A and B are shown apart, each in its own frame.
Chain A
Amino acid sequence: MITLEHVYAVVGLMFAAFAVLSIVDASNPKRLLNAAFWGLLALSLLFGSWLGDLGNGVLVLALVLIGGVGGLGVGRPATTTQEERRESAGRRGAWLFLPALLIPLIAVGGTLLQDHTGLGAALIADRQTTVIALGLGCVIALVAAVAWLRPPLLAPLQEGRKLMDSIGWAALLPQMLASLGAVFVIARVGEVVGGLVADFIPLNGPLLAVTAYCLGMALFTIVMGNAFAAFPVMTAAIGLPFVVQRFGGDVVVVSAIGMLAGFCGTLMTPMAANFNVVPANLLELPDRNAPLNGVIRAQIPTALPLLVANIALMYLLAFR
C-alpha cells in the first residue's frame, strides 16, 4: 500500500537531486546556499519523522536563516531555445497539454477509487488520500512525458530545479504560516481575539456571527497579507466556536467559504506582495510604490461585492 511516507520519500529524493545539481551549477553565484536550502528540505522530507520536535525546530531555524538572510539564487541549466520550442509546439500540438492534465485526473480519480473500490483501498492509504494520489499522478505523468518526449536524462530534474529556484524561499511560506498558526493555537491567540470580538460585538445570531467571521477573515488577511495566516486565528476565534458550535453551521461550508472571504482581503492589501506589488513592478505602473497601486485599485471593486456575496453564501449554505 502507498502511504504518505512513500510520497515524502519521492519528494525528498527530488529535492536531494536539486541540491546536488545546484552544487555543480556554475551559473548560480549562490549555488551553495541553494544546495543547503534544498538539501535541508530533502532532509526534512526523508527523515523528519526521526529528528524529534526540537531537531525539526533547529532545522527550520537553519532553513529560515539560509532563505531569509543569505538568500537564494536562480540556477540556469541548459534548455531548449525559443525556436526549438516553437517548432516542437507546432509539431506536437495540443497533445502537449495531456501529461499536465493527467496529474489532476489521477489525483481526483485515485481519491474516488480509494473511497469506492477494494482495489483502490488496497493500493492507496486512507489517510491524506488526495495528497498521495496527487504524488502518484505526478510520477505517472512524468513517466509518460519522458517516454513520449525522450528528453536528455537529467532534463526533468534540471527543468524542475529551475522552476523551484524561481519560486525560491517562498516555497516554504505556506508551511511556515501553517506552523505559526499551530503556535497561535497553543498560545490561545484565537481565543484572545475571539474574547475581544465577543466583548465588543454581540454575536447573538447566525447572520451576525457569519458576518463577523467573514469580515474578520478579510481584515486579518489585509493585515497579515495572507489568508493562510488569518484562517487559523479567525476560525479558532469565531468560525468554530460561534458559527459552527453555537449556531450549528456546517463545518465544511464554513471553512471553505471562510478561506475565500480571506482571499477577498488578499485582493485589497499591499502586504500580499507577490500578487499585488510584484505585477505592478513588472508592468511598470507609475503608481507602483503607492500603498494602493493600480493593481489593488483595479481589484477592490471586485473584492468588496464578492465579500458580501461570500457572507450571503455562507449564511444560506451552512445552515441548510
Chain B
Amino acid sequence: MLVLLGIAVVVAGFVARINPLLVILAAAITTGVCAAVAPGVGPAALWAAGVDTLAAFGKAFNDSRYLHVVWLVLPVIGLLERAGMQEKARGLIASVRAATAGRVLLVYLLLRQATAALGLTSLGGHPQMVRPLVAPMAEAAAETRDPALPDRLRFRVRSFAAATDNVGLFFGEDIFIAIGSILLIVGFLQQYGIAVEPLHLALWAIPTAVVAFAIHATRLVLFDRALARAAAGAEEPR
C-alpha cells in the first residue's frame, strides 16, 4: 500500500504546479524507497534503496531513448517552414470557401487528423496554428453570419477551435507507427516479454479514430445550428 505514495506525489506536484520533470523523478524515488520500507529496515538501507531506484530509473531512461528519434524531423520541418510551408498551408485552408465556424473547424479536424495520422503532428498545435489561424478564421466565419455575435458565443467558438485541434491530434496520431504512445506500448509490453509490431497497434487505432471524427464532426454541425439559431433570435424585432 505504501508504494501508492508515489502516485500521491505526482498528484500533489501537478496540483502545486511544480515542474513535471522534478515531480516525476521525486515520485519514482518515493515509490522505490517506500517499497523498501519494512520493520527493521534502517535509514542506510532506505538510502541504498533510493540509489538503486535512481539506477533503475537510469536504466529505463536509457532503454527508452528511441523516443528521441522523432526529433530528427525538426531540421526538415524547420527548413520547410523557412521556405514558407506554413504560409502555403494557410493559403490552402483559406481558399476553402466554407464560411461557417463549424465547417471551418470540420475542415481543420479532417486535416489535423489526417496529417497527424501521417506523423506530421507538428503541422498543427495551439501556438502555431490555433491562435494565429484556426480560431480567428472560425471566429470571422461566425461574425459574417452574425455581426452581433455575443461574447459568450465568441469564446465558445475559440474553445471549440482548441478542442478540435486536440481531438484531431489525439485520435489521429496513434495511426502513425512511430508516435510516442505507440512506442511506449511496444516498450511496456517488451518488459513483459510480449513482442508486438507498431504497425499492428496503429491499425487497431483506426476504429476509434473513425468514431472520434464522427462524434466531433456531429457536434460541430450542431454547433453551427446553435450559432444560426442565436443569430436568427438576435435579428427578430423586439
Q: Residues of A at under 8 Å CB distance from B? A: 4, 7-8, 10-11, 14-15, 41, 44-45, 48-49, 51, 53-61, 63-64, 67-69, 79-80, 82, 84-90, 92-94, 96-97, 99-101, 103-104, 107-108, 111, 128, 130-131, 134-135, 138-139, 141-142, 145-146, 149, 151, 155-160, 162-164, 166, 169, 171-189, 192-193, 223-225, 227-229, 231-233, 235, 240, 251-253, 255-257, 259-260, 263, 266-267, 271, 275-276, 278-280, 282-283, 285-287, 293-295, 297-299, 301-302, 305-306, 309-310, 313, 317
What's the least CB distance linking A42 to chain B, in Å?
10
B68 touching A10, Cβ below 8 Å: no
Cβ contact within 8 Å between A231 and B72: no
- With A99-B76, A276-B166 already in contact, 20 other A-B pairs whose C-beta atoms are closer than 8 Å: A14-B71, A53-B56, A64-B25, A68-B19, A69-B22, A85-B83, A99-B79, A101-B118, A131-B178, A138-B75, A142-B75, A160-B74, A182-B57, A186-B35, A251-B196, A252-B201, A257-B208, A259-B184, A280-B162, A286-B155
Q: Per a CB cutoff under 8 Å, which of B6, B88, B177, B192 touches A130?
A: B177
Distance in angstroms from A93 CB to nearest chain B CB is 7
What is the predominant secondary structure among interface residues of chain A facing chain B? helix
Q: Which residue of A lies closest to B135 (CB)?
A: A283
Interface hit among B96-104, B140-148, B212-220, B228-236: B212-220
Q: If the complex has contacts A99-B80, A135-B72, A189-B4, are A255 and B155 also in contact, measured as CB distance less than 8 A? A: no
Q: Which residue of B lies closest to A8 (CB)?
A: B65
A290 to chain B, nearest CB (A): 12
9 A-B residue pairs with Cβ-Cβ distance under 8 Å, sorted by A, are A10-B72, A49-B62, A57-B58, A145-B79, A149-B82, A159-B81, A260-B171, A263-B174, A267-B170
Once bound together, how far apart are the Cα atoms of A257 and B83, in whole Å?
38
Residues of chain B within 8 A (CB-CB) of A93 are 88
Q: Give the number of residues in B that approach A within 8 Å (Cβ atoms).
A: 114
Residues of B within 8 A of A294 (CB): 155-156, 158-159
Chain A nearest CB, measured from B92 CB (Å): 8
B35 cross-chain contacts in A, Cβ below 8 A: 186-188
Cβ of A192 and Cβ of B181 under 8 Å apart?
no
B14 touches A225 (CB 8 A): yes
* A68-B21 CB under 8 A given contacts A56-B61, A171-B71, A257-B208: yes
Cβ A267 vs Cβ B166 within 8 A: yes
B188:A306 contact, CB within 8 angstroms: no
Contacts of B171 in A (CB 8 A): 260, 263, 306
* Least Cβ–Cβ distance between A195 and chain B, in angstroms: 9
Say how far B132's CB is from chain A's closest CB, in angstroms: 9
Q: In the complex, what's the smallest C-beta–C-beta distance from A229 to chain B, in angstroms?
A: 7
A179→B20 CA distance, assembly (Å): 13
Closest Cβ of chain B to A120, distance in Å, is 14
Which residues on B are within 8 Å of A, measured CB to CB?
A: 1, 3-4, 6-7, 10-11, 14, 19-22, 24-25, 27-28, 31-32, 34-35, 51, 53-89, 91-92, 118-120, 122-123, 126-127, 130-131, 135, 155-156, 158-163, 165-167, 170-171, 174, 176-178, 180-181, 183-185, 187-189, 191-192, 194, 196-202, 204-205, 207-208, 211-212, 215-216, 219
User: A residues within 8 A CB of B155?
Assistant: 283, 285-287, 294
Please indicate the chain B residues that have their CB under 8 angstroms from the CB of A159 in the complex: 74-75, 77-79, 81-82
Least CB separation from B31: chain A residue = A187
Contact yes or no, A189 B6, CB < 8 A: yes
Q: Note all chain B residues with C-beta closer than 8 A to A275.
A: 126, 166
Contact A255 B4 (CB under 8 A): no
> Does the CB pair B10–A224 fall under 8 Å?
yes
A88 cross-chain contacts in B, Cβ below 8 A: 83-84, 87
Q: Main SS of chain B's interface residues?
A: helix
Closest chain-A Cβ to B3's Cβ sits at a distance in Å of 5
A159 to B86, CA, bound (A): 14
Cβ-defined contact, A56 with B31, below 8 A: no
In the docked arrangement, what's the CA distance between A283 and B204, Å? 34
A142 & B76 in contact (Cβ 8 Å cutoff): yes
- Among A56, A59, A107, the most chain B Cβ lie within 10 Å of the Cβ of A56
Across-interface contacts of A235 in B (CB, < 8 A): 188
Q: How far, in Å, is B177 (CB) from chain A's closest CB?
A: 5
- Residue pair B72, A14 in contact (C-beta under 8 Å): yes
Contact indicator B60/A183 (Cβ below 8 Å): yes
Within the complex, what minimum Cβ distance (angstroms) separates A180 from chain B? 5
B127 → chain A, closest Cβ, in Å? 6
Cβ contact of A177, chosen from B24, B87, B158, B162, cutoff 8 A: B24
Of the candidates A178, A260, A301, which one forms a contact with B208 in the assembled complex, judged by CB atoms under 8 Å apart? A260
Whether A103 and B73, one on each chain, are in contact in the complex, defined by CB atoms closer than 8 angstroms, is: yes
Given A131-B66, A193-B4, A294-B158, residue A59 in contact with residue B208 (CB < 8 A): no
Please indicate the chain B residues that have their CB under 8 angstroms from the CB of A227 in the complex. Answer: 181
Chain A residues whose C-beta falls within 8 Å of the C-beta of B196 in the assembled complex: 251-252, 255
How far does the alpha carbon of A285 sit from the alpha carbon of B6 in the complex, in Å? 34
- Rounded to whole angstroms, the CA-CA distance of A231 and B191 in the bound complex is 13
A80 to chain B, nearest CB (A): 5
What residues of chain B lie closer than 8 Å to A155, measured between beta carbons?
79, 82
